[in-house]
Structures are given as structure tokens and as C-alpha cells.
Amino acid sequence: MNTYKIAVIAGDGVGPEVCREGMKVLRQIEKLDADLHFEFQEFPWGCEYYLEHGEMMPQDALEILSEFDAIYLGAIGFPGVPDHISLWDILLKIRKGFDQYINLRPVKLLKGAPCPLKDVKREDVDMLVVRENSEGEYAGSGSWLYPGKPNEVVIQDGVFSRVGCERVIRYAYELARKENKRLTSISKANALNYSMVFWDQIFQEIGAEYPDVETDSYLVDAASMFFVKEPQRFQIVVTSNLFGDILTDLGAAIAGGMGLAAGANLNPERKFPSMFEPIHGSAPDIAGLGKANPLAAIWSVSQMMDFFGHEDWGRAVLAAIEQLLAEKKILTEDLGGTSTTAEVGDAVAALLKK
């Protein structure tokens, strides 16, 4: 019997509603598989907690979380707390504190999912973006000089360490080799003459260890165009923190929308727990109305199962999502349906089979 301890930080806005459905699916897996057991512990951290306690989560939060096998996160952010506080003090703190340096984001158009692109076959949108998740443009390094004065200056550094670049690029090469797929690096060395020249150089250096992996290297502006025009160019993509952030929202737009976009924040060495989340925000405008689409949160449960080594269940969860989309009967409003968040969760659980 495998028991997994999962810390649930449902967070703000629609976070709790969508997490509930992901947990429902995990409970269903438990019912169908006598070898698997999940223990959930919920933590009430987030913006409401902040307004009451003056901090987004307690000082020893990482210590508490370190006991868990995984973290399941809903969404963070709510009007009344500035975004740079709410996000730096939970989401980014966990990603960085637990060295979750890989952010895996599938951009895969499932059967039945809407796609705004013309003349694109479903199979053409099928990539996995490996976003650097610990440093780069999001390192939080910089300074703010002479605030409010005429000579005010702000500097935001991009931090690209050799170790940081090598590990994410190597991870992507390994993945491409394992899955026998093409690997594309996305950077911007023509303008970012230090960071991205370095990135490209490391992409080449590591590539020498993987002569069997076919590669491309694109500038991020051109890559954005190809995401829309010729998404079939991309299979495994590796890119920096900021570019990965932007490209995966674009990716979500071509693969069914934010309601279907999931992400896994991984510490591949498993020294710390990894974190699984829908990548959409907290959508305060529809919070509590049962309108939020839980499929992204459920997809991230599929990623969690993959990471635990139960890929059969990872595939099964994705297949259930795909069947639901293809049947087009039980969907939330964003996908043209009239069902509630909970009804969609129930339906996925009911479709689940090993």
C-alpha cells in the first residue's frame, strides 16, 4: 500500500472550489486502486489569512510542508492584497524555497477542447513546456533608487547561473530523449546579450551529450508567432522563467483556454515536495458561484500521479478529462456548457477507470 501525504493550499477565489474537485478525483482513484491511499491536510493560507494575520502563511510554513509528499495548490490572489505580496509570499516562496526548478506545463489540445486556430489539426498542438522556475527574470534581484525623485531608477536583474541553466536544460534533454521527441530552446540572444547568449551556449554544450536528440533554437518573438501559425513545430520546449510564463498562457489559449491549463512545479531530486496547480488565477469575479472550470486543477492531479510514478493513473485521469470534453455534455460555461464546478468533478470521477 502506497500512502501519499498531500498538503492542500486551496487559497483564494475559485481555488477552494477547483481543489475540491481534484481531491474528489484522487478519492476516486483510491476507490479503484486498493494500493493507493491519500492523506489530505488543508492549510487555510492565502489572502484572507493575510488580512487576519498580516502574513500569507506562517513563518514555519515551509518546515510544515516539508513533511508532505506533494502540495496541491488552488489559486492565490485577491483584491485588497497587492499581487506582488500575495504571490511572492506563497507561490514563489514555495517554488524557490523547495527548489522546484522545473515547471512542467503541457500544451496539448485534447479531443473536444476548443481551439481558436484555423487550419490546425488537433495533433498539431501537443507540446510540453519546461519552464525554468527558480531564477532568471524572476530571481527578485534588483534595486529601487531615489523613489519619487526626478532621478528615480529601478533595476530588475535577470539572474542566470550556470547550475540553474544546466539543470533545466539537461532535464529537457533527458525528457526529449526518453520520449523520442524534438527539443526546442526558446531564448532571445540577439537582444539580451548576456543572459540569453549564455543560455544558448549552455543549450549547445549540454546538447553535445545528447547527439541523438534533434533540436531547434528560436528567438522568443518568432517562437510566439510559430505557436499560433505552426504549433506542430514544437514538442518539448525549454525556456526561461519569464518567457515560459508568457508562452504558456499563449499555449493555454491555443489548447482549450485557461480552464484547461495545468502546471507541475517539480523538485526532481525529491529532496523537497513538488507542487501541482492549475495555472489560472483566482478569478475573484466568479468565486463561490460554482462556475469555475475544475479541469485544469484535475489535470494537475494527473501530473501528480505521473510524478508519483503512477503514470497509468496519470493517463487515466487525462483520458477521463478528454472523454468529458469530447462528449460535450457536462462542461462549465467557459467551455460552452451549463454545468457547475462540482458536476464536472463528479463526471470526471465517474468516467475514471484504470
Judged by the rule CB under 6 A, the positions of this chain that interact with ligand IPM are: 87, 91-92, 245, 279
Nearest to ligand IPM of 257, 331 (CB atom): 257
Q: How far is the CB of 133 from ligand IPM (least distance, A)?
A: 8
Q: How far is the CB of 47 from ligand IPM (least distance, A)?
A: 13
Site residues for Mn ion, 189-208, by CB under 5 A, read none
Q: How far is the CB of 296 from Mn ion (least distance, A)?
A: 12
Q: How far is the CB of 23 from ligand IPM (least distance, A)?
A: 21
Among 69, 245, 277, 306, contact with Mn ion (rule: CB under 5 A): 245
Question: How many C-alpha atoms does 217 have within 13 Å on its Cβ side?
Answer: 14
126 interacts with Mn ion by CB under 5 A: no
The amino acid sitting at 213 is: V
Helices (H), the chain: 15-32, 47-53, 61-65, 83-86, 92-97, 162-179, 195-207, 220-229, 241-254, 295-307, 311-327, 341-351
Rounded distance between C-alpha atoms, residue 110 and residue 127, angstroms:
12
Give how far Cα 333 sits from Cα of 73, 274, 291, 336, Å: 23, 31, 7, 5
The rounded Cα 284 to chain-centroid distance in angstroms is 20
277 interacts with Mn ion by CB under 5 A: no
Nearest to Mn ion of 231, 263 (CB atom): 263
Nearest to ligand IPM of 275, 352 (CB atom): 275
What are residue 181's phi and psi, to 5 degrees? -125, 165
Nearest to ligand IPM of 279, 330 (CB atom): 279
Compute and round to an integer the Cα radius of gyration of the chain. 20
Q: How far is the CB of 131 from ligand IPM (least distance, A)?
A: 8
What is the distance in angstroms between the CA of the first residue and the CA of the last residue of the chain? 17
Nearest to ligand IPM of 36, 127 (CB atom): 127
Select the span of 13-21, 65-73, 175-183, 237-245 touching Mn ion (CB under 5 A). Answer: 237-245
Could you say which of ligand IPM, Mn ion, none residue 87 binds, taking C-beta under 5 to 8 angstroms by partner kind? ligand IPM
Q: How far is the CB of 236 from Mn ion (least distance, A)?
A: 20
Q: How far is the CB of 279 from ligand IPM (least distance, A)?
A: 5
Grid coordinates belonging to 8 = 492542500
Nearest to Mn ion of 92, 189 (CB atom): 92
137 interacts with Mn ion by CB under 5 A: no
DSSP per position, 276-325:
EEESS---GGGTTTT-S--HHHHHHHHHHHHHTT-HHHHHHHHHHHHHHH
Report yes or no: 325 and 108 within 8 Å, Cβ to Cβ.
no
Could you say which of Mn ion, ligand IPM, none residue 135 binds, taking C-beta under 5 to 8 angstroms by partner kind? none
Nearest to Mn ion of 245, 306 (CB atom): 245
Grid coordinates belonging to 287 = 468565486
Query: Which candidate, 118, 45, 38, 102, places its Cα nearest to that of 70?
Result: 38
Rounded distance between C-alpha atoms, residue 283 and residue 87, angstroms:
15
Select the span of 121-129, 238-246, 292-300, 325-333 touching Mn ion (CB under 5 A). Answer: 238-246
Q: How far is the CB of 116 from ligand IPM (least distance, A)?
A: 20
Nearest to Mn ion of 10, 76 (CB atom): 76
Name the site residues for Mn ion (rule: CB under 5 A).
Answer: 245
